Structure 1
Amino acid sequence: MKKLFVYSLGIVLFFGSCEDKKKQSETDVEVQKENKNDSEQNIKIDSAKTDYPEITNDNVVSFLTEYGKENPETKVLVTTRFGDIELELYEDTPLHRANFIYLVKQHYFDETFFHRVVPNFIIQAGNSDLVSTQKKRAELGKEYLLPAEIVPGRIHEYGTVSGAKEYRENPDNRTAPYEFFIFLGPKSSTTHLNGKYTIFGKVTKGMDVVEEISKVKADDGDWPLNNIYISAKVIE
């Protein structure tokens, strides 16, 4: 498996995530552009099944606004081999909350990875180099982006959850919908993040798991040498 986006990336769909490396001047979390060839690509995973329309940039706001009214949940459990991470989603970032709940209920995150890990900075999830991930994105909406919902005064702090984004040609700081990152670095590392990435939730339990994941061995692109699969479910 080898290389993908911080934004991911990977065949993966292609992928979106936190820009390539804190080491590289810590400028932006960008969706890493593709890909790693995983020997596990032959694993067959059911793609997302949905009766909802494909999400596009034209219908994203109306669709998620309506979906959010019908699905008001704010708590999600992310499971990994290292343990569980509980997330609380903010209601004042309604499109991001609704999008995340939608993806969880469509089982998008199941069999994706924490695909980027940077100690004392971030861990990013929602991508993989499995064909199934690309297929899910194609079915749910392969090109849509979320309008930024940046709340004045809200900054990246230990345990905040933010949406990854396309770095290039994205002056409106729109979020790539399929990847998110959990921040654990010092506030001094947030200069290029605050006001540019939508913070839509926080970890309420499991930061010890986040810390452990952040320290696993990774390649030069911050991709863990051993895949860290995740699954997610709504808990409240």
Structure 2
Amino acid sequence: MNRKCIGFFTTILLIFLAGCNDAPKKKATSPLPEEVAKKDSVVIDSVVEPAQSPEDEPFVLTEDNAIDFFFEYNKTRTKNKVKLTTSFGSFTVQLYDNVPYHASNFVYLADKGYFDNTYFHRVVKNFIIQGGNADNKETSRKRKAIGRYLLPPDGKKGHRHHRGTISMPSSEINNPHMLASPYEFFIVVTKPGSYHLDGEYTPFGRVIAGMDVVDKINEQPVDDGDWPSQNIYIFKAEALD
């Protein structure tokens, strides 16, 4: 091969090598938008909802907590009267200060709306009218929501069953200690009173206005079981200062 040919091939080889050295380097591949979204979705799906706190559960009264609850409730209670509006008008009850559990219970139930739309379900002529019960689902539902409990009798505070006294009956179910049924009450209409009830039941207040309404309720016709022939409603019970 002559020198011209050798020079020509040498020139071509140098140009080829120079071109390889100047080629751009390959850049690192960045994540695709779909990949980023996929990673984000995994984080979101892994979030765990907090468990419900016991503080969020509704409070229910029981045999175990009722006394402690009303002991504390009575410390801040300012309401000491309850106005009851019935089918025959309204009357107002003044509560005794020294019967704290029963008085506080009555105010608490009134504020909870328990007595609203219940009945005077027992009327005994010239003796008592008894209220706080009803044979409807609403009353049963409210009792379940408030709780199941009884209160100890407290008949040694010097209060007697004079006419106009409001008192709490005892539960009739498995109750050898005459514990009080907190959802019901009775009012004495006997003149001057029904003193044979003293020591057996707990007087916790007296009617201070509207005793004529109580008497009118007591005059209503009843069946053989002392249940009024027509429902006598307690439309509303309102606790007052």
Note if contact 1:156-1:187 (Cα within 8 Å) is conserved in structure 2: no
Name the SS of the counterpart of 1:61 in structure 2: helix
Counterpart CA distance in 2 for 1:202 and 1:188 is: 12
Where in structure 2 are the equivalents of 1:112-151 lying within 5 Å? 112-142=118-148, 144-151=149-156
**Aligned counterpart, 1:216:** 220
**Aligned counterpart, 1:96:** 102
Note if contact 2:128-2:218 (Cα within 8 Å) is conserved in structure 1: yes
Aligned residues: 184
**Aligned counterpart, 1:205:** 209
Percentage of matched positions with identical amino acids: 46
Amino acid at match of 1:154: H
Call closer, same or farther: CA 1:56–1:203 in 2, change over 3 Å: same
Name the SS of the counterpart of 1:103 in structure 2: helix
Note if contact 2:188-2:194 (Cα within 8 Å) is conserved in structure 1: no
**Length-normalised TM-score, structure 2:** 0.72
Call closer, same or farther: CA 1:169–1:187 in 2, change over 3 Å: farther
**Length-normalised TM-score, structure 1:** 0.74
- CA RMSD of the aligned region, Å? 1.6
Aligned with residue 238 of structure 2, among 215, 219, 233:
233
Counterpart CA distance in 1 for 2:189 and 2:114 is: 25
Amino acid at match of 1:226: Q
Following superposition, the deviation at residue 166 of structure 1 comes to 1.6
Where in structure 2 are the equivalents of 1:42-61 lying within 5 Å? 53-61=59-67
Note if contact 2:92-2:207 (Cα within 8 Å) is conserved in structure 1: yes
Note if contact 1:104-1:234 (Cα within 8 Å) is conserved in structure 2: yes
* Structure 2: stretches of 5+ with no match in the other structure: 1-56
Counterpart CA distance in 2 for 1:102 and 1:165 is: 19
**Aligned counterpart, 1:108:** 114
Normalized per residue, the structure richer in helix is: 2
**Aligned counterpart, 1:190:** 195
| 1:166-191, Cα deviation, whole Å (9 max, x unpaired) | 24543332110000000011457432
**Aligned counterpart, 1:166:** 171
Note if contact 2:162-2:193 (Cα within 8 Å) is conserved in structure 1: no
**Aligned counterpart, 2:71:** 65
